[in-house]
Structure 1
């Protein structure tokens, strides 16, 4: 049997799928990075432009510095960046010269592998962005075949897409990406064979979420049919709406007769760290999922489902989640069945939320949905429902967006922000609110160390610091004493 590699998704996709991308800060990641580098993973799914924005917005962490420090701590394992091509943080498609600078800086900071995902499966768009990446460095480029269920997206569709891309020297390998976990083992068997027959010697990897219980079984079937690697999450960052859990996947692959060249002791060490962190920070672990046929209809990906549940809870409307899910199915049909992968799940689910909470379907419509209906994100799989299209576009805001300028050119942005601004700061300011970037820069390098065991103590100290009456405080445990006295600092 073959040797099967593993790609760890815990820091990026696991974090996003289970914890809304806000579970892990730089200090959490760096504490375990050295050990993670010694496990033997083919790559670490490390970040994306959206993930970089979360680092700035929620943690005040510098995302460029995060990549550099992670690369220094993990010199042997390639860090992976997933991208939708010519887009960086903002919804709009960016100027190619702007994206050239983005890809140059990412590679300079330490990204060694890019996933090129175009949600419309636009071959020219994939090739254009891949060419820029190759011109700006020596990173690998992996083309995504993004799975969905429809009468259009059959095995022939994906194999034809792969065949065209495989002819390009800018595409090094492929992966079957199933963000909603819809791919059954039977479909994994036929689809893996079909794609493998078209891509020649270029490797194929399996990335299948566990949302409805298919993830591990379909990943194993892909390995049986010639896939070279499987994407996994470690410990609490696996299962649930994330990817198959790493320790169990290693055992299952070996039981099938495959070789998995990882350091089991080091994997166990990393697994233990993530579990201790999850308990200390109150992060819910992924749990094995029972089959749920409703996902075959609404096709909501794990990270989007987690975010939607959190939004409804904040609005005190958690009880209306079933209504929103049902409306998501209808909105997706209305909009021509877009594949539920970034940025389309966010558009579809947000519109479903508006339709349910607002009381009138399409009474409120986001700018992103209007741009989608106008064709600014590409051509939908099927035409938008004519009545829905008319309802969305027949409003003043839609007419304003029709006249909006394209994404500014790189030279225009340089004139706006100044030619001497450092490139990394400039790239963030061009697409993010200035006050968020200011706060990040003001925070400096942030925390440099982390211990799960200290997390409850630090949380307690933070709460007590908010109470002026608590002037003197002593925390003791065997071998440890911390004393805080008002006006005198730490003992």
Structure 2
């Protein structure tokens, strides 16, 4: 009996390697060829693709699904659904989940792989029920991990529970490549004997074990494995399909794939790899450190992206070492969305702020309070006590405390509504979706089928000619420091350090660090703080923009002069909510602002008592690490 293959090239492969940046227009030319290979299914939607389409690519994720369905007529389409989290980073009410699955199947989805980050069946049962009701295949998923509280006995029992809930098949989802060949053999053998449903294995090549684990799992009876085409394979991605096919050709479980179509597919994706490799911040091959840190492929890609955005990529190793500490303190959750974001972002915060849990994201608080489900193990008592002082613990089914959302959301976006699916996009990502709707209404959104990534050569030419390349989301200016276009190619930035405002002229340099041309005390009074404080001393000139930014950040972080205290952004992000106005009195620890960073909501608090002198940003603004947010006196 032959083994079946699910191809991940259109979803998890580029999510793991290239931060989920592959555009629909770059998929279209090869879709009919992929359809002729003979894959069991194409995993091409869900996961981070939904968010990334709107946030980074200016695409409608629903249109992507419809476009792929138009060209793929013979192969089943498959998606990854985060249970009650749907494709977001928190739990959503049942009415949103039900409508999402209904529209997903109506738009062409065949198989829905359903998982919960902490393997809490309560977060999966409604998704399974709705999927079955719509006539799609419901695949129940075990999130595999290693910890003192996880073992094959636990996983087999969970698979039995999934079968009882109505799942059509079982997937072992090994997010970080931790499943060893012999543990995999034992787990699959027991699942086939004790559960009796078809078994599919999903792994990543991060540790170097995945391909061997696939072969041993197939020997134990696995029915399907997830692979990708070789140019998009290995590293933090899946194993390549070609060597798996070659190895199995010598067994009775030979793959039934079209070799010519595979070759054509491989040649095409070699070109795509060249286009998208700029999104891979670090070159990963085999990283055996994953066996210690247990960081999944997509999480590594996001971690490097987050640190790069904060100009702190040198802290990568430190952040990686912090992740298992945070994971243990949070009760050993498997590291998969959203817990990978929750754990990873908190680890980054701990490293960037220089003090563990100085800032605690709202998502960590909700997780500790039970709003994501029951953790696999007890949470650190000190951390839990601290959080439950301000947040009530919830022990029921997480979605039971959520009010229906669809009708309210529909009313809020009525003027932008073009399809019923828009309501769902808005429910899942309100801020990102609203920005996308506005661009669409203004005619700034191209059809997904025409949306392609610029060739590297074209981007270089545009950059050297001071032209614009990429998407608005990828190229728009970061920070709220009153950027203005100066004469010729110079950019003039206004920055504030210790209450003193300076005008900085920066010359863009293609392919290198921008050059600081001059730093002068500002002559323009643009904020209340600049009116109240005269510059005392000109800052020394530097030739490196990143070095200058670091100096500015250090100055702002310690701004406690006689003129007051400046509260700065500890990380880059978007201002979600401002809680104070000039003249308000605040106490140490009061939340002055909510900053959305790394897909998490982070409270910005006052470090001392005082009166708000100035608020330097507005809601919706984008800020860089070290930007001044609020001035206290």
SS of 2:336's equivalent in the other structure is coil
Please point out which of 181, 186, 189 is paired with 1:190: 186
The aligned counterpart of 1:120 is 118
User: Does the alignment pair 1:363 with 2:358?
Assistant: yes
**Deviation for aligned residue 1:152:** 2.5
Q: Give CA-to-partner distance per residue, 1:9-52, whole Å, 9 cap, x none.
A: 11111011111112x00101112111111111100111115311
User: Please, what TM-score do these two structures have when normalized by structure 1?
Assistant: 0.87
**Deviation for aligned residue 1:409:** 3.0
Structure 1 residues 252-331: aligned runs within 5 Å: 252-283=247-278, 289-290=285-286, 292=288, 294-331=289-326
- Distance in 1 (alpha carbons) for counterparts of 2:306 and 2:264: 34
Conservation of the 8 A alpha-carbon contact between 2:149 and 2:377:
no
Q: Gaps (5+ residues) in structure 2?
A: 396-400, 469-486, 489-633
User: Does the alignment pair 1:230 with 2:225?
Assistant: yes
Kindly tell me: are residues 444 and 353 of structure 1, through their superposed partners in 2, closer, same or farther at Cα, counting changes over 3 Å? closer
Structure 1 residues 85-104: aligned runs within 5 Å: 85-104=83-102
Conservation of the 8 A alpha-carbon contact between 1:49 and 1:89:
yes
Structure 1 residues 68-79: aligned runs within 5 Å: 68-79=66-77
- Distance in 2 (alpha carbons) for counterparts of 1:445 and 1:111: 24
**Deviation for aligned residue 1:415:** 4.0
- Distance in 2 (alpha carbons) for counterparts of 1:465 and 1:357: 33
The aligned counterpart of 1:466 is 467
**Deviation for aligned residue 1:100:** 1.2
Conservation of the 8 A alpha-carbon contact between 1:87 and 1:93:
yes
**Deviation for aligned residue 1:344:** 0.5
The aligned counterpart of 2:59 is 61
SS of 1:21's equivalent in the other structure is coil
The aligned counterpart of 1:443 is 444
Please point out which of 70, 81, 84 is paired with 1:83: 81
The aligned counterpart of 2:14 is 15
Conservation of the 8 A alpha-carbon contact between 1:323 and 1:356:
yes
**Deviation for aligned residue 1:299:** 0.9
Please point out which of 146, 150, 156 is paired with 2:143: 146
Deviates more, 1:309-318 or 1:106-115: 309-318
User: Does the alignment pair 1:35 with 2:33?
Assistant: yes
Q: Give CA-to-partner distance per residue, 1:338-397, whole Å, 9 cap, x none.
A: 1111100111111111111111110001110010011100111111111122334446xx
Conservation of the 8 A alpha-carbon contact between 2:96 and 2:427:
no
- Distance in 2 (alpha carbons) for counterparts of 1:178 and 1:238: 16
The aligned counterpart of 2:386 is 391
- Distance in 2 (alpha carbons) for counterparts of 1:409 and 1:314: 33
Conservation of the 8 A alpha-carbon contact between 2:141 and 2:170:
yes
Kindly tell me: are residues 127 and 198 of structure 1, through their superposed partners in 2, closer, same or farther at Cα, counting changes over 3 Å? farther
**Deviation for aligned residue 1:459:** 2.9
Q: Gaps (5+ residues) in structure 1?
A: 470-491
More relative contact order, 1 or 2 (CA 8 Å, 6+ apart): 1
Q: Give CA-to-partner distance per residue, 1:390-439, whole Å, 9 cap, x none.
A: 334446xx57999xx83543333334444994311111122321123322
**Deviation for aligned residue 1:127:** 2.6
Conservation of the 8 A alpha-carbon contact between 1:18 and 1:237:
yes
Conservation of the 8 A alpha-carbon contact between 1:278 and 1:284:
no
Deviates more, 1:30-39 or 1:440-449: 440-449
Structure possessing the higher radius of gyration over alpha carbons: 2
Conservation of the 8 A alpha-carbon contact between 2:44 and 2:79:
yes
SS of 2:85's equivalent in the other structure is coil
Conservation of the 8 A alpha-carbon contact between 2:18 and 2:276:
no
User: Please, what TM-score do these two structures have when normalized by structure 2?
Assistant: 0.68
The aligned counterpart of 2:2 is 3
The aligned counterpart of 2:538 is none
- Distance in 2 (alpha carbons) for counterparts of 1:290 and 1:181: 10
Kindly tell me: are residues 341 and 451 of structure 1, through their superposed partners in 2, closer, same or farther at Cα, counting changes over 3 Å? closer
Kindly tell me: are residues 146 and 401 of structure 1, through their superposed partners in 2, closer, same or farther at Cα, counting changes over 3 Å? closer
User: Does the alignment pair 1:177 with 2:173?
Assistant: yes
**Deviation for aligned residue 1:253:** 1.9
SS of 1:144's equivalent in the other structure is strand
Please point out which of 153, 157, 170 is paired with 1:160: 157
**Deviation for aligned residue 1:118:** 1.4
SS of 1:79's equivalent in the other structure is strand
**Deviation for aligned residue 1:236:** 2.1
